[in-house]
A = this chain, B = another copy of it.
Amino acid sequence: MSDRPFHHGNLRAALLDEAVLVLRESGVDGLSLRDLARRTGVSHGAPRSHFVDRQALLDALASTGFDRLTTAVRRALAGSGPDLAARFRAVAHAYVDFAIDDAALMELMFQAKGSNGATRESAATLFTVLDGAMGPRPTDGGDEEARTAFKMLFAATMQGIAALVASRRIERRDADGLIQAATGMMLASDLRARATTAG
Protein backbone atom coordinates (compact mmCIF):
# COMPACT_ATOMS: atom_id res chain seq x y z
CA MET A 1 0.00 0.00 0.00
CA SER A 2 2.75 2.46 0.90
CA ASP A 3 6.43 2.59 0.01
CA ARG A 4 9.31 3.18 2.34
CA PRO A 5 12.14 5.20 0.77
CA PHE A 6 10.86 8.69 1.38
CA HIS A 7 12.38 11.57 3.31
CA HIS A 8 14.85 12.52 0.66
CA GLY A 9 13.56 15.87 -0.41
CA ASN A 10 9.83 15.39 -0.82
CA LEU A 11 8.82 14.78 2.77
CA ARG A 12 6.58 17.81 2.77
CA ALA A 13 4.58 16.53 -0.19
CA ALA A 14 4.53 13.02 1.26
CA LEU A 15 3.12 14.31 4.54
CA LEU A 16 0.40 16.28 2.75
CA ASP A 17 -0.57 13.33 0.56
CA GLU A 18 -0.77 11.03 3.54
CA ALA A 19 -2.74 13.66 5.46
CA VAL A 20 -5.43 13.79 2.77
CA LEU A 21 -5.91 10.04 3.16
CA VAL A 22 -6.08 10.22 6.95
CA LEU A 23 -8.49 13.12 6.65
CA ARG A 24 -10.82 11.02 4.53
CA GLU A 25 -10.64 8.09 6.94
CA SER A 26 -10.60 9.69 10.35
CA GLY A 27 -11.41 13.36 9.97
CA VAL A 28 -9.46 16.27 11.41
CA ASP A 29 -9.52 14.79 14.90
CA GLY A 30 -7.70 11.70 13.68
CA LEU A 31 -4.92 13.74 12.18
CA SER A 32 -1.73 13.86 14.25
CA LEU A 33 1.74 14.94 13.29
CA ARG A 34 3.30 11.97 15.07
CA ASP A 35 1.07 9.51 13.25
CA LEU A 36 1.85 11.18 9.93
CA ALA A 37 5.55 10.94 10.69
CA ARG A 38 5.12 7.26 11.50
CA ARG A 39 3.24 6.59 8.26
CA THR A 40 5.90 8.26 6.15
CA GLY A 41 8.72 6.52 8.00
CA VAL A 42 10.40 9.48 9.65
CA SER A 43 10.96 10.44 13.26
CA HIS A 44 8.25 12.37 15.08
CA GLY A 45 10.28 15.55 15.02
CA ALA A 46 10.85 15.53 11.27
CA PRO A 47 7.60 17.25 10.20
CA ARG A 48 8.75 20.26 12.17
CA SER A 49 11.22 20.99 9.38
CA HIS A 50 8.29 21.62 7.02
CA PHE A 51 5.45 22.75 9.25
CA VAL A 52 6.09 24.88 12.30
CA ASP A 53 3.10 23.37 14.08
CA ARG A 54 -0.03 21.33 13.50
CA GLN A 55 -2.01 24.37 12.42
CA ALA A 56 0.54 25.08 9.70
CA LEU A 57 -0.10 21.62 8.31
CA LEU A 58 -3.86 22.21 8.40
CA ASP A 59 -3.40 25.54 6.62
CA ALA A 60 -1.31 23.87 3.93
CA LEU A 61 -3.99 21.20 3.56
CA ALA A 62 -6.66 23.86 3.14
CA SER A 63 -4.53 25.62 0.56
CA THR A 64 -3.99 22.52 -1.55
CA GLY A 65 -7.69 21.75 -1.07
CA PHE A 66 -8.64 25.04 -2.67
CA ASP A 67 -6.23 24.34 -5.50
CA ARG A 68 -7.79 20.96 -6.14
CA LEU A 69 -11.31 22.38 -5.96
CA THR A 70 -10.30 25.10 -8.39
CA THR A 71 -8.98 22.48 -10.78
CA ALA A 72 -12.21 20.52 -10.48
CA VAL A 73 -14.29 23.61 -11.17
CA ARG A 74 -12.12 24.54 -14.15
CA ARG A 75 -12.48 21.04 -15.54
CA ALA A 76 -16.25 21.17 -15.05
CA LEU A 77 -16.42 24.48 -16.88
CA ALA A 78 -14.27 23.21 -19.72
CA GLY A 79 -16.53 20.20 -20.11
CA SER A 80 -19.76 22.18 -20.30
CA GLY A 81 -21.00 24.20 -23.24
CA PRO A 82 -21.68 27.93 -23.43
CA ASP A 83 -25.14 27.69 -21.88
CA LEU A 84 -25.10 29.59 -18.59
CA ALA A 85 -27.52 27.26 -16.82
CA ALA A 86 -25.43 24.24 -17.76
CA ARG A 87 -22.25 25.98 -16.61
CA PHE A 88 -23.80 26.80 -13.27
CA ARG A 89 -24.94 23.25 -12.70
CA ALA A 90 -21.51 21.96 -13.66
CA VAL A 91 -19.79 24.18 -11.13
CA ALA A 92 -22.35 23.33 -8.48
CA HIS A 93 -21.82 19.62 -9.00
CA ALA A 94 -18.07 20.02 -8.80
CA TYR A 95 -18.55 21.76 -5.47
CA VAL A 96 -20.89 19.17 -4.05
CA ASP A 97 -18.87 16.22 -5.33
CA PHE A 98 -15.80 17.64 -3.67
CA ALA A 99 -17.74 18.18 -0.45
CA ILE A 100 -18.81 14.55 -0.50
CA ASP A 101 -15.44 12.99 -1.32
CA ASP A 102 -13.46 15.19 1.03
CA ALA A 103 -15.93 16.38 3.63
CA ALA A 104 -13.33 16.87 6.36
CA LEU A 105 -11.04 18.76 4.00
CA MET A 106 -13.95 20.93 2.86
CA GLU A 107 -14.67 21.78 6.48
CA LEU A 108 -11.04 22.67 6.97
CA MET A 109 -11.09 24.94 3.94
CA PHE A 110 -14.12 26.91 5.00
CA GLN A 111 -13.17 27.56 8.56
CA ALA A 112 -12.10 30.71 10.33
CA LYS A 113 -8.56 29.46 10.91
CA GLY A 114 -7.35 29.62 7.35
CA SER A 115 -5.79 33.04 7.75
CA ASN A 116 -2.67 31.78 6.02
CA GLY A 117 -1.30 33.73 3.10
CA ALA A 118 -1.13 30.82 0.71
CA THR A 119 -4.62 29.71 1.74
CA ARG A 120 -6.07 33.14 1.05
CA GLU A 121 -4.42 33.17 -2.34
CA SER A 122 -5.75 29.74 -3.26
CA ALA A 123 -9.21 30.73 -2.12
CA ALA A 124 -9.01 33.95 -4.13
CA THR A 125 -8.11 31.99 -7.25
CA LEU A 126 -11.20 29.85 -6.81
CA PHE A 127 -13.36 32.95 -6.60
CA THR A 128 -11.76 34.31 -9.73
CA VAL A 129 -12.65 31.15 -11.61
CA LEU A 130 -16.17 31.41 -10.24
CA ASP A 131 -16.30 34.93 -11.61
CA GLY A 132 -15.23 33.66 -15.00
CA ALA A 133 -18.03 31.10 -14.90
CA MET A 134 -20.53 33.91 -15.10
CA GLY A 135 -19.46 34.65 -18.60
CA PRO A 136 -17.79 37.74 -20.03
CA ARG A 137 -18.15 40.95 -18.12
CA PRO A 138 -20.52 43.40 -19.84
CA THR A 139 -18.65 45.77 -22.14
CA ASP A 140 -19.74 48.84 -20.22
CA GLY A 141 -18.83 47.21 -16.91
CA GLY A 142 -22.44 46.66 -16.00
CA ASP A 143 -23.71 46.83 -12.45
CA GLU A 144 -20.52 46.03 -10.59
CA GLU A 145 -22.26 45.85 -7.23
CA ALA A 146 -24.88 43.46 -8.53
CA ARG A 147 -22.20 41.28 -10.08
CA THR A 148 -20.28 41.03 -6.81
CA ALA A 149 -23.45 40.32 -4.83
CA PHE A 150 -24.50 37.68 -7.30
CA LYS A 151 -21.10 36.03 -7.21
CA MET A 152 -21.02 35.92 -3.42
CA LEU A 153 -24.57 34.65 -3.29
CA PHE A 154 -23.69 31.90 -5.72
CA ALA A 155 -20.69 30.92 -3.62
CA ALA A 156 -22.75 31.08 -0.43
CA THR A 157 -25.47 28.89 -1.90
CA MET A 158 -23.02 26.31 -3.21
CA GLN A 159 -21.23 26.38 0.11
CA GLY A 160 -24.55 25.96 1.93
CA ILE A 161 -25.66 23.01 -0.18
CA ALA A 162 -22.25 21.41 0.16
CA ALA A 163 -22.38 21.86 3.94
CA LEU A 164 -25.82 20.26 4.14
CA VAL A 165 -24.53 17.30 2.14
CA ALA A 166 -21.25 17.05 4.05
CA SER A 167 -23.07 17.05 7.37
CA ARG A 168 -25.39 14.38 6.02
CA ARG A 169 -28.41 16.54 6.68
CA ILE A 170 -29.60 15.92 3.13
CA GLU A 171 -29.05 13.02 0.76
CA ARG A 172 -27.01 13.10 -2.39
CA ARG A 173 -30.03 12.83 -4.70
CA ASP A 174 -31.79 15.66 -2.85
CA ALA A 175 -28.69 17.74 -3.49
CA ASP A 176 -29.17 17.36 -7.23
CA GLY A 177 -32.69 18.71 -6.94
CA LEU A 178 -31.48 21.54 -4.77
CA ILE A 179 -28.80 22.47 -7.27
CA GLN A 180 -31.38 22.57 -10.03
CA ALA A 181 -33.69 24.72 -7.92
CA ALA A 182 -30.91 27.04 -6.82
CA THR A 183 -29.38 27.57 -10.25
CA GLY A 184 -32.80 28.02 -11.79
CA MET A 185 -33.75 30.58 -9.19
CA MET A 186 -30.53 32.50 -9.52
CA LEU A 187 -30.59 32.51 -13.31
CA ALA A 188 -34.14 33.80 -13.41
CA SER A 189 -33.48 36.49 -10.86
CA ASP A 190 -33.44 40.20 -11.39
CA LEU A 191 -30.02 40.33 -9.74
CA ARG A 192 -28.51 38.14 -12.44
CA ALA A 193 -30.01 40.31 -15.14
CA ARG A 194 -28.36 43.37 -13.64
CA ALA A 195 -25.10 41.47 -13.09
CA THR A 196 -24.55 40.04 -16.54
CA THR A 197 -26.14 42.42 -19.03
CA ALA A 198 -24.99 45.83 -20.07
CA GLY A 199 -26.74 48.61 -18.15
Q: Which residues of A contact B (CB under 8 A)?
A: 27, 103-104, 107, 110-115, 123, 149-150, 152-153, 155-161, 163-164, 166-170, 174, 177-178, 181-182, 184-186, 188-191
Question: Contact between A177 and B149 (Cβ–Cβ < 8 Å)?
Answer: yes
Please name 17 further chain A to chain B contacts, defined as beta carbons within 8 Å, in addition to the given A112-B167, A188-B189, sorted by A numbering: A104-B112, A107-B107, A111-B167, A115-B168, A149-B177, A152-B174, A153-B182, A156-B160, A156-B161, A156-B178, A156-B182, A157-B160, A159-B160, A160-B163, A185-B186, A185-B190, A185-B191
Question: Contact between A159 and B163 (Cβ–Cβ < 8 Å)?
Answer: yes
Q: What are 11 sample pairs from A and B whose C-beta atoms fall under 8 A apart?
A: A104-B112, A107-B111, A110-B167, A115-B168, A150-B181, A152-B164, A153-B178, A156-B164, A160-B160, A184-B191, A188-B189
Give bound CA distance, A114 to B188, whole Å: 36
Give bound CA distance, A150 to B174, whole Å: 12
> Mostly helix, strand, loop or mixed at chain A's interface?
helix
Residue from A112, A150, A156, A157 with most neighbouring chain B CB atoms (10 Å)? A156
Give bound CA distance, A191 to B155, whole Å: 20
Give bound CA distance, A182 to B160, whole Å: 13
A104 proximity list for chain B (CB < 8 A):
112
A123 proximity list for chain B (CB < 8 A):
169
Q: With contacts A153-B181, A186-B185, A190-B188 known, is A166 near B112, CB below 8 A?
A: yes
Give bound CA distance, A114 to B178, whole Å: 22
Q: With contacts A110-B163, A157-B156, A160-B158 known, is A189 near B185, CB below 8 A?
A: yes
A166 proximity list for chain B (CB < 8 A):
112
A168 proximity list for chain B (CB < 8 A):
112, 115
A111 proximity list for chain B (CB < 8 A):
107, 167
Closest to A152 in B: B178
